[in-house]
Amino acid sequence: MASSSHRLTVGRPALGPVGTIRETIKSVVQRRRLLLYLTIARVRKDGGNTIIGNFWLILDPALQLVIYYFLVGIVFNRPQPDFPLFLFAAILPWRWFTTALSSATESIRARNKVMRQIAFPQIVLPLSAIAASGTGFLFGLIPLFSLYLAYTDRLTIWVTALPLVAAVQVLWTLPFAILLSAISVFVRDIGNFLRHALRLLFYVSPALFSYERIEGILGPNPPAHLLLDLNPMAHILTAYRNILYEGRAADWGVLLIVALASIPFTIVSIYLFRRMAPSFVKVL
């Protein structure tokens, strides 16, 4: 009858940074079910109240592809060979990145009611935002792989490396999502700012154009070039394009460095989140 003891002590965890991070990871693992249900709820909300429901998960990225195809391929007249696949290989993961960040930014504020009633590790909220938009990414793979019907010769064994590249992307989404969710509790304007920042980042990432082309434009300008080199998404998108479009191995060395570089950022973001978390309920 009696439920097991869930928590032995309540109160400020008198742990150092290392202990805080270990405890946070442990608490998330314990609440993995919560993460699952929150993700399901969020995915359903996105498709809810529409006539075709979750079919939007597939239609949405497909329509976005059409628009960018029209913009870059026809208006700017800059098509690459097999242009739809070229575009989609980068737009789809980028979409995941932006939806993850923008919904993570709202995630804590959106659940302020339950935070006032139940004590739980709030960090699952931004994490579920990443997971839910990851579900959108998975459904977006359906139109992506449909494109291979038209470009059969582009489909190579390297496509199987997709989970690896996606994992690196998750590693880099984590610190931003965690930090943005916490900061937006105190500074609500961050969401408005984020929209524009992501737009800018989109244009300095090799999403609409190839890495070489962006490099050609920014090359003569050292600070701008540095921006491109330091942008983890630039390397990640290039890796996606390598395996999905060019049908060759990604630059695994670069990808490994990008992956390793995310770890200190994630650790710092978790620590900062935990430092801010006690104030959430008071501020919301």
Partner 1 sequence: MTVKQRAPISLKNVGVCYNMRLSRKRGLRKAIAKGARLDAQGKFWALRGITLEVQEGEILGVVGANGAGKSTLLATLAGILTPDAGSIAVYGSIATLLQLGAGFDDELNAEENILLVGAFLGIPGSVMKKKIPAILEFADIGDFSRSEVRTYSSGMRARLGFAVATAVNPDVLLVDEVLSTGDATFREKARRRILGLMKHARAVVYVTHDLESAKEICNRAIEMEDGKIIADGPARKIITAYERKMRTRGGPHASAASPKRTQSTPLRRRARKG
Residues that bind partner 1 (CB under 8 A): 1-12, 30-31, 33-34, 36-38, 40-41, 44-45, 48, 113-120, 186, 278-279, 281-283
Closest to partner 1 by CB, 49 vs 152, is: 49
Residue 48 Cβ vs partner 1, minimum distance, rounded to whole Å:
5
Distance CA 277, CA 190 (A): 17
Taking the alpha carbons at both ends of the chain, their separation in whole angstroms is 36
For the bound state, the minimum distance from the C-beta of residue 281 to partner 1, rounded and expressed in Å, comes to 6
Measured from the Cβ of residue 59, the count of other Cβ atoms closer than 10 Å reads 13
Choose between 117 and 152: whose C-beta lies nearer to partner 1: 117
Shortest gap between Cβ of 179 and partner 1 (angstroms)?
Answer: 17
Give min distance, CB of 113 to partner 1, in A: 5
Question: Of 91 and 180, which CB lies nearer to partner 1 in the complex structure?
Answer: 180
Helix (H) or strand (E) holding 232: helix 232-241
Report how far residue 129's alpha carbon sits from residue 181's, in angstroms, rounded to the nearest whole number: 10
CA–CA separation, 247 vs 249, rounded Å? 7
Tell me whether residue 34 or residue 170 sits nearer to partner 1 (CB atom): 34
How far is it, in rounded angstroms, from Cα 148 to Cα 158? Answer: 14
For tokens 């610190």, what's the residue?
175
Q: Considering beta carbons, is residue 115 or 234 the nearer one to partner 1?
A: 115
Q: Considering the complex, state which of residue 56 and residue 148 has its C-beta at the smaller distance from partner 1.
A: 56
Tell me how far, at minimum, the Cβ of 3 lies from partner 1, in Å. Answer: 4
* CA distances (Å), origin 45, targets 50, 91, 265: 10, 23, 30
Taking the complex as a whole, the smallest distance from the CB of residue 182 to partner 1 amounts, in Å, to 13
d(CA 180, CA 103): 10
